[in-house]
Amino acid sequence: MKLVIGCDHGAVELKDSVKEVIAKEFPDIEVNDVGTFGTASVDYPDIAEKVCAEITSGAAEKGIVLCGTGLGISIACNKVKGIRAALCNDVFSAKMSREHNDANILGLGGRVLGFGPAGEIVKAWLSTPFSGDERHQRRIDKMMALENK
Ligand code: RB5
């Protein structure tokens, strides 16, 4: 599986920690890091656009986005057609965002989460499949139809 990851300056350290967790726990996942890589201030919508482009083009199946709170970058991702970004700062939400919402992007807050909890959230999110349940698929279809209204 190919995964794209990106963050603003508020979450570079958490992004690096998340990449270490993925490398250790999911060695088959190929990670494409689209930045940012330093402490210089960047605008999270620019990173969101890069991450989403990798997914909508088919280059990556899933993504992880991080900013200070995880809010701005998740909201920005959800402006892009085909994206279902879920900001999850707990394990239960991470599991549900996959099982019920088939989220294709996970959002995390670099100034909200410690490395340990973030790692557990990422592990839960990456190892939980979409349930495939008809009622959840129906709701997802309705949700995605809102893009065209
Ligand atoms: C940047 O200072 C900060 O606004 C950003 O990382 C994020 O928290 C926005 O939602």
Q: 41: domain CATH number?
A: 3.40.1400.10
What does the alpha-carbon distance between residue 5 and residue 67 come to, in Å, rounded to a whole number? 11
By residue count, the chain amounts to 149
Give the pair of three-digit tokens for residue 57: 């083009």
pLDDT at 81: 98
Instruction: Give residue 90's domain range.
Output: 2-148
**Per-residue model confidence (pLDDT) at position 136:** 98
Residues 25, 26, 28, 29, CA torsion sign? negative
For ligand 1, pick from 69, 89, 108, 112 the residue to mutate: most ligand atoms within 8 Å of CB: 69
Q: What is the pLDDT of residue 131?
A: 98
CA atoms lying within 13 Å on the CB side of residue 100:
8
**Total domain count, the chain:** 1
Q: Are 126 and 29 in contact (CB under 8 A)?
A: yes
pTM: 0.98
Residue 59's pLDDT is 98
- Report mean pLDDT in 10-residue bins for the chain, 149 residues: 98 98 98 97 98 98 98 98 98 98 98 98 98 98 97
Predicted pLDDT of residue 132: 96
Atom of ligand 1 nearest to the CA of 67: 6
Q: Cα(26) to centroid of ligand 1, in Å?
A: 28
Rounded to the nearest angstrom, the distance between the alpha carbon of 109 and the centre of ligand 1 is: 9
